[in-house]
């Protein structure tokens, strides 16, 4: 099962002109751990979501947002 959170995190990072490594550090992860989460090699757990929300300064709705296009493909 693919994560809904990972692509949204990447979109937010791009939209806010942030560096993935800076977000990883702020959330308390190494660059590799964070990259593994975004690539689906590590499961993003509830505590991870909380840390990422704080690092990106967003709420959970932004991380779990489903695009209309994504809904249509299911």
Provide the pLDDT for residue 68: 56
Q: What are the pLDDT digits (tens) for 42-58?
A: 999 999 999 999 999 99
Q: What are the pLDDT digits (tens) for 3-37?
A: 899 999 999 999 999 999 999 999 999 999 999 99
pTM of the model: 0.85
pLDDT at 66 over 90: no
3-state secondary structure string across the chain = CCCCHHHHHHHHHHHCCCCHHHHHHHHCCCHHHHHHHHCCCCCCCHHHHHHHHHHHCCCHHHHHCCCHHHHHHC
Q: Give the chain's domains with CATH numbers.
A: 5-62 (1.10.260.40)
Which whole number is the average pLDDT over 64-72? 67
């Amino acid at each position: 099962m693919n994560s809904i959170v990972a692509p949204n995190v990447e979109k937010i990072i791009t939209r806010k002109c942030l560096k993935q490594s800076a977000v990883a550090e702020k959330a308390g992860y190494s660059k590799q751990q964070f990259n593994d989460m975004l690539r689906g090699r590590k499961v993003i757990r509830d505590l991870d979501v909380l840390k990422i929300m704080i690092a990106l300064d967003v709420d959970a709705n932004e991380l779990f947002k489903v695009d209309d296009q994504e809904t249509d493909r299911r």
